[in-house]
Structure 1
Amino acid sequence: MIGKSNSSSKYDRPNCNVTGAGYFPVTEEDLNPDRIVGGMYARRNQFPFMAVVHRLLGRGMISQCGGTIISHRWVLTAGHCVADQPRQFLVVFGDIDKSRVGYNFYQGPGTSMMTDSGFLHPHFSPTINDVGLLYMPRDIPFGEAIQPIHLAGKDDTYESFNGRMGTVIGWGKDRSKSTGTRRLKYATIPIISNSKCSMTWGITSNKHICTAAGYKKDACQGDSGGPLIVLEDGVPVQIGIVSYGDASCPSSKPGVFSRVTGYIDWIQEATGIRF
């Protein structure tokens, strides 16, 4: 992976306004951790902010990630999902079933776009500043199945979220030796303190957030770039981006996420959006 952005990281895209945010058919019951063992399959429209992010490597090969819609033109993902070349991506919105996604095409009820506009945090490394953005060539069509996520903002800067339940969502592996799930899955896991997480991983307090190990559910390969969310007054709010963890799934080590509030200034500068 590379550790700096190239010329495509110039912030010369037009400003985008978040509209249509706020409709999410998700309830506390949906995210009840007592009902989740190793993750559950999502219902259609349950997480309308989710995006499939496939980086096209050539010869039919892909690098698989997830992402979240944050405006009509922007998708938030992990830095390591956009760091390497080639920067050509197939991004799919409004579907929970990846069996309809091909190498460079999509045949399903949602919407797909190709983009080569990947933006990488200028101080990216695999374990810190692991944040990236994708700019879409046209507006993402919002509707019942496609909606932007609310991001944690400056008011949440000093919120640790320690002890709260966070939900991670993605199409990654559902066990270490699998190739990934075709249907979108989610799991709800306790969020732990950064001091506890630091016993396993060397993390930076304002740049990371971690989920507990030992619950037989966590993010795995292919989930990178997807969200960690909490509910605020019934509305999903993204507080983390899947970054790294142990290769074993489920793991005996905490899962590590890029903390959204640690990068909100960069996201605003890159996109022109104010959160």
Structure 2
Amino acid sequence: MRSKTLGKIVLSLISVVSLGLGAAGPAAADSAPTAGAPVAGKTEAAGKGGPEGIIGGETADSSRGMAALHRNGNFLCSGSIVDNRWVLTARHCLYPEGERIPDSQLTVRVKSLNRTSGGGVVAVSDSRVRTEHDIAMLKLDRSANAEPVRLATANPKVGATTYVFGWGRTCATCAPSTVLKRATMRVESIDADDVYGGRAIRTSGLNGRTCHGDSGGPLFKLVDGQRYQVGVVSGGNAGCPDDSGFRFASTPTSLTWIQNVMADF
């Protein structure tokens, strides 16, 4: 069994504060992605920040395959569409204060770079979480009518260039980004732990870093020009202080579980 110790580098990066915003929209890009990383924990108030998301990085140019997760209309986490009826996100996003959020309070905005408008809003009818892994699946009550992401069958190699997407904060005290952002990351290890002790990919930021609200967002690796999701934003350094130590729950490690969930429910 992998270690479940969160340690000092893990903090709650989930933005669950009321921002006065409606359901948000998804996003994804084919070239450069965005960054973000959250962990379960206490609610934190967001400061007054700019409209950009992720610390550094750049604005994404496509929302393909992305989903913005909301609780009662307030932005919660980022996620990815893995099937027209299923969204993949981080397990800790569903436990912001230690208790499971009822599915009836959850919605996702899809097909929009803006998490507050555009695209469409779809309700969540059911959810599943993987034991001892920071992975969760949200079943939608209708089709998202969007192009799903591809899921990788193997973890990336150390040194590989990857891309992360999310609507997280642009600074440690800023509000979550209104628009989808992306950041370029370098794989440092594929044998780290996510916040629940599951296998994780550890990266360092090349042009940006993740922060609160990026939790649940996808980490992509380009293969022959096509994006494949290799990770889910799980945790990072407390306070988003630098561009190292980001951890992503490995999606190849959980691929069979993900496929079984979609087949069984």
TM-score range (shorter-chain normalised) is 0.7 to 0.9
**2:201 aligned to which of 191, 209, 214:** 209
Alignment correspondent of 2:160: 164
Structure 1 unmatched runs, 5+: 4-23, 101-107
Shift, 1:248, TM fit = 2.1
- State the one-letter code of the partner of 1:93: V
Q: Which has the larger radius of gyration?
A: 1
Residue 140 of structure 1: how far off its partner (Å): 1.6
Query: Which of the numbers 31, 41, 61 marks the counterpart of 2:59?
Result: 41
After superposition, the C-alpha distances for 1:154-208 in whole angstroms (9 at most, x for unaligned) are: xx2xx4421011101000001101011101100001111246x68xx9996x711
Using the TM superposition, give the Cα deviation of residue 99 of structure 1 relative to its aligned residue in structure 2, in angstroms. Answer: 3.4
Q: Which has the higher helix share?
A: 1
Shift of 1:63: 5.5
Q: Deviations over 1:195-254 (max 9, x none)?
A: 6x68xx9996x71101115x4621111011100001011000000000011122242541
Tell me the amino acid that sits aligned with residue 60 of structure 2. A
Residues 25, 203 of structure 1: alpha-carbon distance in 2 compared, 3 angstrom cutoff = closer
Which of residues 222, 227, 231 is equivalent to 2:213? Answer: 222
TM value normalised by structure 2: 0.72
Contact 2:55/2:209 (8 A) holds in 1: no
Unmatched runs of 5 consecutive residues or more in structure 2: 5-27, 34-53
Note if contact 1:212-1:254 (Cα within 8 Å) is conserved in structure 2: yes
Bigger proportion of residues as strand? 2
* Aligned equivalent of 1:184: 180
CA distance in 1, matches of 2:195, 2:77: 24
Q: 1:203 to 1:85 in 2, by over 3 A?
A: closer
Higher relative contact order (CA 8 A, sep 6+): 2
Number of equivalent positions:
213
* Secondary structure in structure 2 of the residue aligned to 1:258: strand
Identity of aligned pairs, percent?
31
Give the Å deviation of 1:115. Answer: 1.6
- What is the alpha-carbon root mean square deviation over aligned residues? 2.8
Counterpart in the other structure of 2:122: 113
